[in-house]
């Protein structure tokens, strides 16, 4: 009777570890393989120093190995000699990495990416989870019958590993990505349909005059230039002119949205409400991620207005959003200068009351 009971524990541990690794691999491909893996690369691998060439290969191979280990832990070939030691080693590497990230960040915030966006988990939670898994695997080594060590069919192990890795590459093929914006062929012909039109900037571009300064004499600014310098900032290149040619002229509200994101839709609706109350509201421009782009009409319907937009590919979108940033993103631009950047759904999330106060401030109050 004791032998029967003792045989339950090894299989219980094996099933738990298998479930952990298989769910981890699947979660990294949720809600869609290419989107999820690309997000994992940008948020988890790029900060570690992985290049845009190496990251796509490493991410897919890593997920494939995770899936393979989840399957291989349930069979007996090379279980004691290879599968369990490799699983322990991989978990130990994860613990080391998460400990390093937690130390650098000085806290325990953000999603570690262990289960992708499906099950958000803080670094500390992930460290505890991995340490428990390592302890269970060590116990498993001592509980396994010695007869298992005689089963060493290399072809079964290698075939399962190769099959899982290839399957990940088939589910999420690597796409060529450039450092520049990649605008999709989907071009919108949307015009601003909210109740109030955006008023023109207080000072038009034609008012600005250029004063040439020679190498000897200094030219004092004219009265017009003095007025301009105190009422609006000097023009700056924001980096988004390839998407919106006039974005560096006047005041703009630049948004980074994902069409299917509920938080993005809520922010879009809040912006519409603000715009309806303010005739001089900064023009709203949207950069959409090319994920579920067919939901854009539904997005605008929920936002109760339509705005000019461009759609760019997933990785260029994350790069444009910025390292460590998350959606929804909202930037307040004035002549290409960024004066506020809301992003994510935590401490720095979009605040309509704060934004209303911000856009009503004259340039003199925005100067650093």
Q: Which two tokens stand for residue 166?
A: 């290839």
- 350 contacts 269 by C-beta, under 8 angstroms: no
CATH ID of 233-366, from 3.30.470.10, 3.40.30.10, 2.60.40.4070, 2.40.70.10:
3.40.30.10
Encode pLDDT of 303-313 as tens digits: 999 999 999 99
5 has pLDDT over 90: no
Rounded to two decimals, the pTM is: 0.72
Q: Which residue has the higher pLDDT, 189 or 321?
A: 321
128 has pLDDT over 50: yes
CA angle 329, 330, 331 (to 5 degrees): 125
Residues in contact with 119: Cβ distance below 8 Å, sequence separation at least 6, in sequence order: 23, 27
* Domain layout of the chain by residue ranges: 2-171, 233-366
| Burial zone of 32 (CB within 10 Å; 0-12 exposed, 13-18 middle, 19+ buried) | middle
**Residue environment code for 317-350, b if the CB has 16+ CB neighbours within 10 A, otherwise e:** bbbbbeeebbbbbbbbbbbbbebbbbbbbeeeeb
Give me the count of residues in the chain.
Answer: 368
Q: What is the mean pLDDT of the chain?
A: 81
Encode pLDDT of 144-165 as tens digits: 887 676 678 899 999 999 999 9
- What dihedral do alpha carbons 46, 50, 51, 57 form, nearest 10°? -110
Please report the pLDDT score of residue 112 as a whole number.
Answer: 66
215 has pLDDT over 60: no
Encode pLDDT of 69-119 as tens digits: 999 999 999 998 899 999 999 999 989 888 877 766 555 566 666 776 777
CA dist., res. 350 & res. 331, Å (int): 10
- SS (HEC) of 79-129: HHHHHHHHHHHHHHHHHHHHHHHHHHHCCCCCCCCCCCCCCCCCHHHHHHH
């Amino acid at each position: 009777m004791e032998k029967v009971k003792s045989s339950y524990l090894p299989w219980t541990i094996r099933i738990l570890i298998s479930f952990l690794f298989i769910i981890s691999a699947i979660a990294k491909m949720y809600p869609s393989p290419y989107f999820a893996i690309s997000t994992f690369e940008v948020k988890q691998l790029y900060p570690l120093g992985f290049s845009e060439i190496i990251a796509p290969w490493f991410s897919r191979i890593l997920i494939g190995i995770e899936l393979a280990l989840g399957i291989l832990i349930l069979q007996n070939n090379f279980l004691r000699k290879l599968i369990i030691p490799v699983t322990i080693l991989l978990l130990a590497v994860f613990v080391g990495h998460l400990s390093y990230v937690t130390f650098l960040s000085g806290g325990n915030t953000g999603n570690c990416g262990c289960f992708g966006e499906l099950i958000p988990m803080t670094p500390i939670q992930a460290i505890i989870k991995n340490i428990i898994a390592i302890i269970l695997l060590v116990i498993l080594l001592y509980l396994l019958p010695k007869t298992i060590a005689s089963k060493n069919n290399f072809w079964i192990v290698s075939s399962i590993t190769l099959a899982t890795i290839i399957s990940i590459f088939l589910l999420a093929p690597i796409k060529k990505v450039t450092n520049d914006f990649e605008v999709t062929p989907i071009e919108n012909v949307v015009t601003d349909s909210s109740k109030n039109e955006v008023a023109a900037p207080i000072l038009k571009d034609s008012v600005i005059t250029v004063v040439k300064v020679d190498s000897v004499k200094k030219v004092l600014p004219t009265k017009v230039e003095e007025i301009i310098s105190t009422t609006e900032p000097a023009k700056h290149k924001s980096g988004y002119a390839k998407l919106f040619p006039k974005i560096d002229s006047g005041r703009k509200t630049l948004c980074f949205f994902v069409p299917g994101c509920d938080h993005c839709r809520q922010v879009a609706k809040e912006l519409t409400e603000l715009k309806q109350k303010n005739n001089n509201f900064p023009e709203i421009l949207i950069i959409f991620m090319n994920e579920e782009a067919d939901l854009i009409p539904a997005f605008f319907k929920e936002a109760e207005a339509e705005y000019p937009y461009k759609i760019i590919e997933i990785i260029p979108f994350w790069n444009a959003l910025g390292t460590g940033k998350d959606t929804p993103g909202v930037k307040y631009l004035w002549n290409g200068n960024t004066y506020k950047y809301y992003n994510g759904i935590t401490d720095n999330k979009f605040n309509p009351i704060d934004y209303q106060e911000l856009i009503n401030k004259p340039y003199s109050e925005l100067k650093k």
